[in-house]
A and B are shown apart, each in its own frame.
Chain A
Amino acid sequence: MIGQSSPFSEALKHAVLILGALIVILPFYVMVSYSLKSPREIETNTGGFFGAQEQMVDEYCVKLGNAREDCVETPVIYNYTQAFKKAPLLRYLLNGVIVTASIFFIQVLVALPCAYALSKLKFWGRDVVFGMVLFCLLIPVHAIALPLYIMLAKAGMTNTYAALVVPWTISVFGIFLMRQFFKTVPDDLIDAARMDGMNEFSIVWKVMLPTAIPALLAFAIFSVVAHWNDYFWPRVVITGNRDLYTPPLGLREFKGDGDGSYWGPMMATATIIVTPLIVAFLMAQKRFIEGITLTGMK
């Protein structure tokens, strides 16, 4: 920027930004801290960030008829083991991975050849197809959830993995993003590959795919973040079958029996489902932000 900022104005800026940062961090602080504390410490708001970690008695365990001394636990261990014990959290996490990975895999499988065709191949009707892509960009998939739900219900597909994955198999955004990217790839590269006797199919997967890695990464970020965190769609199509719950649904289930003593395990569950993406983000921040930027600059 032009104009030298004085140390005073610099300090003022930091003060404002720090205040904002505190508000932004507050719930993360609460979440992690309370996942470490005993129910008593949560109710009285004592114990600092980590809690005193005094031994506590698991009342539920006593109710089941166990001896009191067998039910003594350290709060942090209690909270996190409860998170895994009370509901099959590992199963939910695995479902999250299966669903998120399948969605991304199929989206790429459909979008990459389409983007290649739209940017590099000549065929009659190409502009019409691209127009269709642009039109579909206007339709937010969450908004048409209801008719999609009816279609799946009619096909008897609710409460299946397919119901979680199928509506997201087409990403017009992905097609658009990759088409824009492929436009910048020189035609000579493709002509050379054809000279070498490659057919169009192998050009897509052996020539275009490797060059598209940056765009694919940007797209992966959007796709994975959206579907790992998505709560709406699983809530609609998975109604009874707990084996198909994704992490947010599993957390919601915890909330159902909102007895005060479960805040600790609930915060532990929240921490567990939020952590993978936060860690990924912290490790590859630059990539993430570049990715978002790349997609925003269309």
Chain B
Amino acid sequence: MAVDVATAPAMERPAPVRRKLLTAESLAGYLFVAPAIVLMLVILIAPVLIAATLSFTDYSLGNPGFEWVGTENYEKMFSRSTYTKMLTASAIYVLVVVPVSIGLGLGAALLINSLKRFGDIYKTIYFLPVMAALLAMAIVWEFSLHPTIGIVNKVLASGCGGFLEEISDWYAAGCARNFPLWFGDRDYAIWTVCFIGIWQGFGFNMVLYLAGLTSVPRELYHAAAMDGADSAWDRFRLVTWPMLGPTTVFVVTIATIRSFQVFDTVEAITQGGPSKTTYVMMFAIYEKAIKHNLIGIGAAITVVFLVFVLLLTLAQRWLVERRVHYS
């Protein structure tokens, strides 16, 4: 039957609703989705399965075969200090960048939204880093934070001798010796990388929050005022924040997935150092699997990465659905 050929994978049992199996419309439908299905299978789904399989092997490119090593790659990841440092660096990065960039994005959106004029100018400026190639901006930041010729330490040094030295021990110490090396100092490197991540990403969150704010009905503020919610904080707590719930869930998911993927800053500036303090997951995959050809461990990191993303997205779905039930 011609029908079986055209719809081969999908036709294990007859369609329950449509008796007439192959109309012109359904033929067109299959033709139109076919390229997308093939690409999804080859480019997205197969690689996940490949990564899962290879994570149990010691495969490397160029070798004819490979050995099954069981869960050895995973055991390494949770026991060897390199990988615990990797998990720590990724965790710090995500746990710092996500809340701070969302907090700043929300703060900027609220301030801009409440302004009488010039709001658009700030919106434009804050969004610029989102458009700029992160690699280029990372290099500029590296230069700005350069310990000897960088503008940041020069500005800091110019404040020496003033009141700042008296109010801050950190500042006084910087003046007495030197201000930090930023990327070269193991106490500062990961935080500096986080700072660039926040700088780059918060404008995106701001725009999403600004969009969310336009959908908060004004009557709710009137109603809240009637009920005695007078202060700006009350209005925020009782009306704005709950109404922004779905936006926040979305922003958190996107921001977290993006944070797990940080690579440009680390590869271009710190190479994971000093002493692996900035050894984030994406860089670890790149270094281990692609530079050193240790595919098995790279695949294991990939799988852990995907599990994190999956958990996050499921948590998001759950939160959104729970919200819908309550409201």
**Which A residues contact B (CB, under 8 angstroms)?**
1-3, 5, 10, 13-14, 16-17, 20-21, 23-28, 30-31, 34, 42-43, 45, 110-111, 113-114, 116-118, 121-126, 128-129, 132-133, 136, 138-151, 153, 166-167, 169-170, 172, 175, 199-201, 204, 225, 228-229, 231-232, 235-236, 247-248, 251-252, 255, 260, 263, 266-267, 270, 273-274, 277-278, 281-282, 285, 288-289, 292-293, 296-298
Contacts and interface: CB of A to CB of B under 8 A. Distances in A.
Contacts of B56: none
A39 B17 CA distance: 75
16 contacts: A1-B114, A1-B235, A24-B129, A28-B132, A30-B143, A113-B33, A124-B26, A129-B36, A138-B313, A151-B50, A232-B261, A252-B135, A270-B133, A273-B133, A274-B132, A285-B124
Contacts of B207: 289, 292-293, 296
A200 B116 contact: no
B265 to A, nearest CB: 10
A251 B139 contact: yes
Contacts of A228: 133
Interface in B114-136: 114-116, 118, 122-136
Contacts of B130: 225
Contacts of A150: 50, 54, 61, 295
Nearest to A175: B36
Which secondary structure characterizes the binding site on chain B? helix
A53 B161 CA distance: 33
Contacts of B5: none
Contacts of A231: 133-135, 263-264, 267-268
Given A122-B26, A231-B134, A148 B43 contact: yes
Interface centre among B131, B149, B199 (most CB of A within 10 A): B131
Contacts of A146: 47, 51, 285, 289-290, 295, 298-299, 302
A232 B264 contact: yes
A111 B130 CA distance: 25
B69 interface: no
Nearest to A166: B43
Nearest to A294: B211
A12 B52 CA distance: 54
A296 B140 CA distance: 30
B29 A121 contact: yes
B299 A24 contact: no
Given A21-B122, A121-B29, A138 B282 contact: no
Interface in B121-175: 122-137, 139-141, 143-144, 149, 151, 154
Given A169-B39, A274-B136, A30 B144 contact: yes
A132 B40 CA distance: 8
A200 B218 CA distance: 45
Interface stretch (B86-94, B105-113, B184-192): B105-113
Contacts of A247: 133
Closest 7 CB pairs of A and B: A123-B29, A123-B26, A147-B47, A200-B28, A170-B39, A113-B32, A117-B32
B176 interface: no
B98 to A, nearest CB: 15
Contacts of B61: 150, 153
B157 to A, nearest CB: 11
A21 B129 CA distance: 11
Contacts of B131: 225, 277-278, 281
B196 to A, nearest CB: 9
A63 to B, nearest CB: 23
Contacts of B136: 31, 248, 251, 270, 273-274
B73 to A, nearest CB: 13
B35 interface: yes
B111 A16 contact: yes
B310 interface: yes
Interface in B284-309: 285-286, 289-290, 295, 298-299, 302, 305-306, 309
A22 B33 CA distance: 49
